Amino acid sequence: MAKFRIWCRVSGGLTGTREAWLKKRNGKIYETKNRTTAQKEASRLNKTMGKNSMASFRYSVEEIN
């Protein structure tokens, strides 16, 4: 069964470009069995993150087997 994660790319600001899996507050990687759920979360993050910063955030859904 496929699982889905959200890949985050941050560019700009003081650190340059960085990429990593999105993590929950408990430090574990965000993962779901439902692509639609992951896409909704990535879309929400793309609309809200980085609005008041010099950094650019981009979230995308990746399928994990």
Domains of the chain, by residue range, sit at 3-64
Of residues 43, 44, 53, the one with CA closest to residue 10: 53
What are the tens digits of pLDDT across the range 5-58? Answer: 999 999 987 778 999 999 999 999 999 999 999 999 999 999 998 777 778 899
pLDDT at position 65: 84
- Alpha carbon distance 47, 45 (integer Å): 5
Neighbouring CB atoms inside 10 A of 42's CB total 22
The pLDDT of residue 53 is 75
Residue 29's pLDDT is what?
97
